[in-house]
Amino acid sequence: MTSRRSFLKTTGMGLLAAGMATASTRTSYAQQSAESGNPKDTFRLGIAGYSFNKFKLDQALEMMKKVDVHYLCIKDFHLPMKSTDEEIAAFHEKCKSFGVTGYAVGPIYMGTEQAVDEAFAYAKRVGVKLIVGVPHKEVDKKKVESPELLKYVEGKVKEYDFKYAIHNHGPDNLPYSNAECIMNYIKDLDPRIGMCLDIGHNMRTGADPVADMEKYAGRVYDIHIKNITSPDKQGKGIELPRGILDLPAFVRMLRKVKYNGACSLEYEKDMQDPLVGIAESIGYFRGIMDSTR
C-alpha cells in the first residue's frame, strides 16, 4: 500500500503544478483520461459547487479553469431554484465559455412534498438527470430522516426517470449519517434512488469509505471527495494529501467496481480563499490516478 508520506515524497510539488495546469492542456475528459490515470477509467473528476459558496459564478468558474476541472455539481446560490429559462440558458453559456459542464444539482434539502416537486421541476429545466438531495422532516427543530417523504421521492423518480442521490453528512445531527444508514432506507425503493457518497463525512462516523464503496457501488451515483483530520465527529476537512483517508485504496476500489459517475472535490477548508487548497487537492488526486494501478 502506498503511504501518504512516500507518495508525497515521490511526486512532490509536481502534483500542485498538475492541479494548476491550464485548460488548453486538457480540454475534455477523454483527453484528461489519456494524460492522467488509466485511459480506461470510467469516472470523471469534478468539483462540488458548495466549495465556492463564498464566490460568484464567474469567480468559481475561473478557479475551475485554473485547476483544469470541467464538471460542476450545481448549487442553487449559483443558479437559484426560481431561475427563468433565460437565466438557465445564460448560466449554461457562461459555464461553456469556461469549458465547464453542470452534471447535477444539489445538495438540495427537501422537507415537504412541495419542495420535492420544485426540485425535480428545477432539475428538468436545468437539463440534468441527477439530483443530489436530502429528503427530511422537522422534529423538535431538527432535520431527521423521512421514510415517508422518500416514498414520495420514489414516485417522482419514476415520473421523471431521474437518479436521486442522497447525501450523507456524518455525525452532525443532520439526516443520513453514512452509506449504511442511507442503504437501510433505500434498499427496497426504486434502484434509481441511491447515494452521493461523501467519503470524508462517511469516515467521521467510523465507517470505512473503501469498504462501503465496494459494498454499495451499485447505488452510488455521485461522490464527494474530501479528506479529514480524524475518523470521528471532531474530524475536520483538510487538503486531500494531508488527512487520514487512504485515497490510493479508494481510487483502486473505484476501478475495481467500475464506478462511472463523478468524483467531485468538496473543499470546506479556507472557504474564503480556497484556490491553493483546491489546487493541492486536485493535483494530489490526479497524481494518485497516475501512480495507482
Residue 8, phi then psi, degrees to nearest 5: -65, -40
Output the nine-digit C-alpha cell for 201.
463525512
Give SS3 for 178: coil
Over 219-259, what HEC string results?
HEEEEEECEECCCCCCCCEECHHHCCCCHHHHHHHHHHHCC
Residue-wise pLDDT tens digits, 100-114: 999 999 999 999 999
Give residue 164's pLDDT: 98
Give residue 37's pLDDT: 54
Contact 236, 19 (CB under 8 A): no
Q: Answer whether residue 25 shows pLDDT above 60.
A: no
Q: Quote the CA–CA distance of 58 and 85 in Å, as a whole number.
A: 19
Q: Quote the CA–CA distance of 188 and 236 in Å, as a whole number.
A: 33
Output the nine-digit C-alpha cell for 238.
483538510
The percent helix, strand, coil of the chain (3-state, each to 5) is: 45, 20, 35
DSSP one-letter code for 84:
-
DSSP one-letter code for 168:
P
Q: Quote the CA–CA distance of 131 and 17 in Å, as a whole number.
A: 33
Kindly state the average pLDDT of the residues 147-152.
96
Q: CA dihedral defined by 131, 132, 136, 138, rounded to 10 degrees?
A: -110
Q: Answer whether residue 43 shows pLDDT above 80.
A: yes
Which band of pLDDT confidence, cut at 50, 70 and 90, is reported for residue 292? confident
Q: Answer whether residue 20 shows pLDDT above 60.
A: no
Q: Quote the CA–CA distance of 165 and 219 in Å, as a whole number.
A: 8
Kindly state the average pLDDT of the residues 136-156.
94
Q: Where are the domains of the chain?
A: 4-291
Q: Which of 18-27, 142-151, 154-163 is the least confident region? A: 18-27
Q: Answer whether residue 131 shows pLDDT above 90.
A: yes
Question: Residue 84 is which amino acid?
Answer: T
Q: Quote the CA–CA distance of 99 and 77 in Å, as a whole number.
A: 20
Which band of pLDDT confidence, cut at 50, 70 and 90, is reported for residue 41? confident
Q: Answer whether residue 144 shows pLDDT above 90.
A: yes
Give residue 141's pLDDT: 84
Give the mean pLDDT of the chain. 89
Euclidean distance between the first and the last CA atom of the chain, given in angstroms as a whole number: 11
Q: Which of 124-133, 139-148, 189-198, 257-266 is the least confident region? A: 139-148
Share of the chain above pLDDT 90, in %: 82
Which band of pLDDT confidence, cut at 50, 70 and 90, is reported for residue 159? very high
CATH numeric code, 4-291: 3.20.20.150
Kindly state the average pLDDT of the residues 243-260.
97
CA 249 to chain centre: 18
Q: Answer whether residue 56 shows pLDDT above 80.
A: yes
Q: Answer whether residue 12 shows pLDDT above 70.
A: no
Q: What is the pTM of this model?
A: 0.87
Output the nine-digit C-alpha cell for 243.
488527512
Kindly state the average pLDDT of the residues 120-129.
98
Residue-wise pLDDT tens digits, 171-225: 998 899 999 999 999 999 999 999 999 999 999 999 999 999 999 999 999 999 9
